[in-house]
């Protein structure tokens, strides 16, 4: 029987009902293609492993223990790490951030000496090194306090250069000061680090999902909050403008943070700029899944895999996640 005249007809593709191998072969997104980055919290000492109570399986580690865990993750397939530093002493100039013998600088040297093929990324921020916990220099006037953007840029650039001189493969400014990518790029270029990439936290939102990180990095602000320099969660168009500015200033990789709660931003950024795009699965996004899994309320493995697949499907080429080692093991299983 012929179709009725004027009615559009088409053949619907047959749904694939066969093997898992065939389904994998035609899958549009595959988490195995994402580059996973494992964060570490380094602090001075030896044989130090201090659990982060709000983040299961995450620790503050001395450099020798960072090496041990990074080597184990590397053997499982995690080829990149992101370093945060927690100094013994803090001040209002963040002097530990750029010290030649600073904790990040020391840890980078240890990792690059023992694991030269490991990609070492360093977080460039000042909050962990500031006695007040903010990401920039603070000027107090009476009961009010103001973050001084431009004076902070020089410290950030000096910190990034010290990481480069220690052997970092990529520097990642996370402070959200205006103009910091340009300041870092110029500092690196003038010091003959012309080819050292910058991975910019380009769209970093002021988020409640950072809660457990404050414990891990010991970086909670002693007063106020960071809403004056981190992005408003209500603004998507602003995120696109922020990314565009960072690209113009010299960013090689752009990042959206948080990840799971901001999949729409990841998608818009990737579709707009076609740049290498990272997403940071932040502390609470990780901890909630771990906690619910430990309670037996969810299948931790399935939810963790699905949530990271969503980040990759949204456009993230690179995923920074505390679950990186677990994910590589599960993906091989």
What is the secondary structure of 1-60 as a DSSP string? -PPPTT----PPPPPP-S-HHHHHHT-S--GGGSEEEEEEEE-SSSS-EEE-TTSTT-EE
The model's pTM is 0.89
Cα-Cα-Cα-Cα torsion 69, 74, 79, 80, nearest 10 degrees, comes to 10
The C-alpha atoms of residue 244 and residue 49 are separated, in whole angstroms, by: 40
Contacts of 12 (CB under 8 A, 6+ apart): none
Check residue 52 and give its pLDDT.
93
Contact status, residue 78 vs residue 38, Cβ threshold 8 Å: yes
Is the separation of the CB atoms in 63 and 107 below 8 Å? Answer: yes
Confidence of residue 17 (pLDDT cuts 50, 70, 90): low
So what's the pLDDT on residue 306? 97
Q: Tell me the average pLDDT across 292-318.
A: 97
Q: Considering only 18-27, 186-195, 288-297, which range has the smallest mean pLDDT?
A: 18-27
Per-residue pLDDT tens for 242-275? 999 999 999 999 999 999 999 999 999 999 999 9
Q: What is the pLDDT of residue 186?
A: 97
From the list 47, 140, 187, 204, the catalytic residue is 204
Predicted pLDDT of residue 217 = 61
Mean pLDDT of 138-150: 74
> Is position 204 annotated as part of the catalytic site?
yes
Range 302-311 average pLDDT: 97
The fraction of the chain above a pLDDT of 70, given in percent, is 86
pLDDT range class, residue 71, cuts 50, 70, 90: very high
257 is known as an active-site residue: yes
Instruction: Say what the pLDDT of residue 74 is.
Output: 96
Task: Pick the catalytic residue from 90, 257, 270, 290.
Answer: 257
Tokens standing for residue 127? 């909050």
pLDDT at residue 227, as a whole number: 60
Whole-number Å distance between alpha carbons of 32 and 202: 25
CA–CA separation, 70 and 65 (whole Å): 8
Mean pLDDT of 56-65: 96
Kindly report which listed range (16-25, 142-151, 152-161) carries the lowest average pLDDT score: 16-25
pLDDT of residue 34: 77
- Asked if the peptide bond before residue 258 counts as cis, ω within 30 degrees of 0, the response is yes
- DSSP string computed for 96-149: HHH-TT-HHHHHHHHHHHH-TTSEEEEEE-STTTBTT--SSEEEEETTEEEEEH
Q: Mean pLDDT for the chain?
A: 88
DSSP per residue, 47-66: S-EEE-TTSTT-EEE-HHHH
What pLDDT is recorded for position 313? 96
DSSP letter assigned to residue 232 = P
Q: What is the pLDDT of residue 12?
A: 59
Per-residue confidence band for 218, with pLDDT thresholds at 50, 70 and 90: low
pLDDT at 138: 73
Reading the block at residue 146, the tokens are 């103001």
Phi, psi angles (nearest 5°) of residue 85: -115, 145
Reduced to 3 states (helix: H, G, I; strand: E, B; else coil), residue 154 is helix
At residue 41 the predicted structure's pLDDT band, cuts being 50, 70 and 90, is very high
Range in 98-112, 154-168, 217-231 the model is least confident about: 217-231
Determine contact, residues 266/290, Cβ cutoff 8 Å.
no
Residues 6+ apart with CB under 8 A from 166: 104, 105, 106, 108, 109, 112
- pLDDT attached to residue 220: 60
Mean pLDDT value of segment 97-106: 94
């Amino acid at each position: 029987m012929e179709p009725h005249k004027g009615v559009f007809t088409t053949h619907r593709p047959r749904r694939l009902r066969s093997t898992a191998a065939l389904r994998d072969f035609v899958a549009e997104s595959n988490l195995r293609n994402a580059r996973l980055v494992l964060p570490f919290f380094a602090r001075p000492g030896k044989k130090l492993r201090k659990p982060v109570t709000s983040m299961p399986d995450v620790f503050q580690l001395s450099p020798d223990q960072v090496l041990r865990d990074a080597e184990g993750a590397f053997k499982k397939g995690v080829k990149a790490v992101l370093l945060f530093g927690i100094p013994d002493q803090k001040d209002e100039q963040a002097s530990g951030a750029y010290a030649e013998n600073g904790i990040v600088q020391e840890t980078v040297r240890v990792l690059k000496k023992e694991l030269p093929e490991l990609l070492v990324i360093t977080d460039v921020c000042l909050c962990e090194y500031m006695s007040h916990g903010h990401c920039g220099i603070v000027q107090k006037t009476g009961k009010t306090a103001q973050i001084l953007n431009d004076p902070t840029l020089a410290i950030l650039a000096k910190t990034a250069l010290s990481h480069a001189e220690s052997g970092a493969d990529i520097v990642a400014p996370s402070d959200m000061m205006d103009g910091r990518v340009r300041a870092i790029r110029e500092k690196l270029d003038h010091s003959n680090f012309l080819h050292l990439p910058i991975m910019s936290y380009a769209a970093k939102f002021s988020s409640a999902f950072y809660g457990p990180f404050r414990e891990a990095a010991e970086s909670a602000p002693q007063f106020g909050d960071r809403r004056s320099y981190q992005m408003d969660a209500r603004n998507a168009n602003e995120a696109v403008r922020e990314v565009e500015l960072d690209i113009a200033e010299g960013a090689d990789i752009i990042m959206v943070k948080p990840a799971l709660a901001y999949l729409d931003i990841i998608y818009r950024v990737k579709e707009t700029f076609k740049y290498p795009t990272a997403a940071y699965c932040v502390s609470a996004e990780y901890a909630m899944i771990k906690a619910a899994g430990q309670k037996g309320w969810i299948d931790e493995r399935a939810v963790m895999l699905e949530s990271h697949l969503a980040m990759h499907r949204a456009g993230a080429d690179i995923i920074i996640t505390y679950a990186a080692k677990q994910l590589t093991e599960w993906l091989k299983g």
